[in-house]
Amino acid sequence: MTISALPEFETLLLETDQHICTCTINRPDKLNALNGRVLEDLEKAFTYINEADDIRAVILTGAGTKAFVAGADIKELSALNPETGKKLSANGQRVFSMIEDSSKPVVAVVNGYALGGGTELALSCHIRIATENAVFGLPEVSLGLIPGYGGTQRLPRLVGKGKALEMILSGRMVKAREAVDSGMANTFSGSKEDALKQAREMLGGMLKHGPVALQKAIQAVNASDDGKTSGLEAEAGLFGELCGTGDFKEGTSAFLEKRKPSFSGN
């Protein structure tokens, strides 16, 4: 196994083997929740990956076996107001769009919980392989919010508007088999190790093809996402508005205080 020297990050682990870079989000004590630092590190890591000649494909996963990413960091969210909320949403969207627009194929190995921003991060990858304990979901409404990292735009494209609305409005959790049946995940594997092996095999097959063709194929498929920009702008605007509501304060406080929320509709 050849491991080249790679940049180091506070919240990410990077390693390469046979031109495939595995990027692991590494905050297992907080179920790999996406705080500002993780987003900053992801942006730097993907800038590096996109420029590194010896890296031709990427696997994105979460540290441990319990969670891929349990969402945006609710502690950070709880302090948002309409202005900072809109900025946070737009910033996360920008980083996730960078992953979606990466010139190299990106496979998410979704190991355990992928909730809120975790599902949205997986959706921004080109392909998703779920482990048998994977759980997808967009529970933002339970916090008095909506998905703010592109979920309202990317999920309907994969599963259709009806299924996406059902998931977003209910906030319910979706297990691996349903995720595959609905088109949200491409396939599922057993353990995280199995899923990583499957991802490496899948990418190994793709890497037999010319890198320019892979790059242009990603570009062409992404070009069909008409209205992405205005949809994302609308999402960030609405996310910001919700950060000024009492229900948002109540939803995030209830989570942090480990109690059930009591929403008043204001």
* Nearest to 112, CA basis, from 61, 176, 66, 63: 66
Scanning 14-22, 108-116, 152-160, 196-204 for contacts with ligand CAA by CB under 6 A, the matching segment is 108-116
Q: x/- contact string, 143-182, with ligand CAA (CB under 6 A)?
A: x-x-xxx---------------------------------
Q: Given the structure tokens 């959706």, which residue do they identify?
A: 123
Is-contact 124 150, C-beta < 8 A?
Answer: yes
Q: How far is the CB of 76 from ligand CAA (least distance, A)?
A: 8
In the chain, the amino acid numbered 150 is: G
Nearer to ligand CAA, 92 or 105 (CB): 92
Q: x/- contact string, 204-243, with ligand CAA (CB under 6 A)?
A: ----------------------------------------
Q: Which residues contact 234 (CB under 8 A, 6 or more apart)?
A: none
Nearer to ligand CAA, 206 or 235 (CB): 235
- Per rule CB under 6 A, is residue 100 in the interface with ligand CAA? no
- Per rule CB under 6 A, is residue 110 in the interface with ligand CAA? no
- For the stretch 226-234, contacts whose Cβ atoms lie closer than 8 Å and that sit 24 or more positions apart, written own/partner, are 228/153, 231/152, 231/153, 232/90, 232/93, 232/97, 232/150, 232/153, 233/90
- Per rule CB under 6 A, is residue 64 in the interface with ligand CAA? no
Scanning 66-74, 123-131, 187-195, 229-237 for contacts with ligand CAA by CB under 6 A, the matching segment is 66-74
- Per rule CB under 6 A, is residue 113 in the interface with ligand CAA? yes
Catalytic residue among 140, 178, 233, 257: 140
Reply yes or no on whether 166 is catalytic: no
Reply yes or no on whether 193 is catalytic: no
Q: How far, in whole angstroms, is CA 167 from its chain's centroid?
A: 16
Scanning 11-19, 30-38, 192-200, 241-249 for contacts with ligand CAA by CB under 6 A, the matching segment is 30-38
Structure tokens at 145: 């919010």
Q: Which residues contact 261 (CB under 8 A, 6 or more apart)?
A: 142, 143, 144, 247, 250, 251, 253, 254, 255
Scanning 37-45, 67-75, 179-187, 202-210 for contacts with ligand CAA by CB under 6 A, the matching segment is 67-75
CA gap 228, 209 in Å, rounded:
29
Q: Which of 4, 47, 65, 75 binds ligand CAA (CB under 6 A)?
A: 75
Q: List interacting residues with ligand CAA (CB under 6 A).
A: 30-31, 33, 70-75, 92, 113, 115-117, 120, 139-140, 143, 145, 147-149
The residues annotated with a catalytic role in the active site are 120, 140
